[in-house]
Amino acid sequence: MPKIAFVGAGSIVFARNLMGDVLSYPELQGSTITLMDIDEERLDRVATAGREMVEHNDVDATIETTTDRREALDGADYVLNMIHVGGREPFENEIRISQEYGVNQAVGDTLGPGGVFRFLRTAPVMLDLARDMEELCPDALLLNYTNPMAMLCWAVDEATDIDVVGLCHSVQHTAEAVSDYADVPREELDYWVAGINHMAWFLEVEHDGESIYPGLYEAAEDPETYKRDNVRFDILRHFGAFVTESSNHMSEYVPYFRTEEATIEEYTVDEEFEDYFVDWMPTGHYFEHWCEYQQEAREMTADDIDPEIERSEEYGSRIIHSMETGERRRMNINVRNDAGAIANLGNDTCVEVPCLVDGQGVHPCSVGELPAQLVALNRTNTSVQRLAVKAALDHDQDALRRAVKLDPLTAAACTLDEIDDMVDDLLAANADYLPDELVEAPRTVSSPT
């Protein structure tokens, strides 16, 4: 039976859900699940919840704990990464300092100054994890849940020999949303989705062989429905496809919705709909909601966790089950584009495409070329990602500055010199969480006189 290592397992809700996912398959119920986190108190709570689940459901799984990452990785067959590096302070800096320069991010975990700096403080830990895997479990698959998804997977692919895939639930949640908007049963929906993480496109979406896009355009004309998902409906109307990330997230990946306070308020999804996708998804002020959620999670105990085994919509356990049993599944997974799954995006990019998973692993499907307007929007994001990865791997401060200057939202809000000043402030505020080689790196991009 496989050994499955959970790295960064201190989140009691998420780790419990992933354990339940694994144990929901009879073929995986004898697995060894090794929970690793640097916070021993949180780790013990998660382990208690896991062991109660095992006992309550009378399964044979073994739940182990360790604060030593190398011990967790030794001999692992699968490694699920869910770390958060740095905690509250750098996250707040990335939001507040950017805000002072007029860059109003909704979330700041994927692109923009927040996404780039989150990547820069997370990448060294991810790369150390992957290098430990090269030594201790070189054939294991790394399943990454940590954002910024594309940049982290890209860096691991670029710098190590570890097989890594990125997992997100935005496709599943969007399928639920479009089925509701078009008034068709979710389980009867057929779809073909491709792009990049948090900006993938429902290229085809059908019910009983008929496209539901006419129903989506009709839904966009209804004021009550429109205000539930206004950014995505506007992207649909102007660019011709429904995108996979929620309106609040999507608003910060493009330059159209977050440059003036009135526009931000207009496009912030009403609070009454914030439970539609995720039960704690914010309505434009993510940091405060994140802090509240973290406090609630810290106060939870194993007694607050339902011991019944239920399977969530997450892909991780499905990938493991398919690779262990040979059962074939198709899922949207983040992978390197080196086989040209999307023909008109660079082979070095991390793309989110349909993949077939079986006993031999993860096999990206060929999508061909994305429509010109959709791939153009993707490229505005992948250009930032490419330079950010260069900044992280080469400790190249010029690449960092250029990455932020190419960010669509930042470019809409700031001059080039203002962006340099903002990067200076972010580097100074977050120096304790960033590699010294990057913070101290010389810059050749001219500074204002």
**Which tokens sit at 363?**
């096999």
* Residue from 24, 31, 26 nearest 4 by CA: 31
The vertex-183 CA angle with 283 and 354, nearest 5°, equals 75
* Residue from 196, 167, 190 nearest 178 by CA: 190
Set 169, 173, 285, 289: catalytic member: 169
CA 251 centroid distance within chain = 16
Q: Hey, is 21 helix, strand or coil?
A: helix
Contacts of 286 (CB under 8 A, 6+ apart): 95, 105, 106, 107, 108, 109, 248
- The strand pair at 78-81 and 199-207 is best described as unpaired
Angle between helices 112-136 and 416-429 (to 10 degrees): 50
* Residue from 110, 111, 170, 160 nearest 140 by CA: 160
Q: Indicate the length of the chain as a whole number.
A: 449
Beta-strand runs (E) in 148-283: 163-166, 189-196, 199-207, 210-211
- The strand pair at 3-7 and 78-81 is best described as parallel
Is residue 37 exposed (0-12), middle (13-18) or buried (19+ Cβ within 10 Å)?
buried
Report residue 190: phi and psi, to 5°.
-115, 135
169 is catalytic: yes
Tell me the C-alpha distance between 322 and 315, whole Å. 11
Report residue 223: phi and psi, to 5°.
-55, -40
Q: Give the residue numbers marked as catalytic.
A: 169
